[in-house]
């Protein structure tokens, strides 16, 4: 087993930079062949939000490390602070908006190695 099949670090080549922030992918089918889930770090800049989207093939967990956000899940709005985790069921539209003066940094985990995302606003969600 090659060490890159079991250990990854956040680096530029596995980071998607977007208008609202970035997504750094550490584990997934393309990063670690044979993985059974997707795992990464999301950063959302103050006052920005990612587009309304859903995941048709997996559930998502989002755990806040630093910063704060409001998270729209379906028709409800939740306030998340460091230490909060939210479970986003498969197929439910959602977005997160950073409400702090510092960027929101959160761990994201998906129940599929080939996480799919479908934008409902036509914007790039990576």
Q: For 28-80, write each residue's pLDDT tens digit.
A: 998 888 999 999 999 999 999 999 999 999 999 999 999 999 999 999 999 99
Residue 124 in 3-state DSSP?
coil
Q: How many domains does the chain have?
A: 1
pLDDT per residue over 78-114, tens digit each? Answer: 999 999 999 999 999 999 999 999 999 999 999 999 9
* Residue 14 placed within a domain: no
Asked whether the beta carbons of 108 and 37 are under 8 A apart, the reply is: no
* Residue 60 placed within a domain: yes
Nearest residue to 100 (alpha-carbon basis) of 86, 77, 82, 87: 82
Gap between the Cα atoms of 9 and 7, Å rounded: 7
42: containing domain? 19-117
Gap between the Cα atoms of 109 and 25, Å rounded: 10
Return the residue matching tokens 């800049």.
Answer: 45
Cα–Cα–Cα angle for 46, 50, 99, nearest 5°?
A: 30
**21 class by beta-carbon count within 10 Å (0-12 exposed, 13-18 middle, 19+ buried):** buried
* Residue 12 placed within a domain: no
């Amino acid at each position: 087993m090659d060490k890159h099949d079991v250990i990854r670090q956040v680096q530029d080549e596995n980071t998607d930079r977007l208008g609202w922030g970035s997504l750094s992918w550490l584990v997934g089918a393309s990063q670690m062949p044979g993985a059974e889930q997707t795992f990464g770090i999301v950063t959302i800049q103050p006052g920005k939000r990612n587009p309304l989207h859903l995941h048709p093939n997996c559930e998502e967990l989002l755990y806040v490390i630093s910063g704060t956000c409001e998270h729209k899940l379906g028709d409800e709005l939740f306030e998340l602070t460091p230490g909060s985790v939210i479970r986003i069921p498969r197929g439910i539209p959602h977005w997160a908006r950073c409400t702090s003066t510092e960027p929101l940094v959160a761990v994201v985990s998906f129940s599929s190695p080939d996480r799919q995302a479908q934008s409902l606003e036509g914007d790039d969600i990576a």
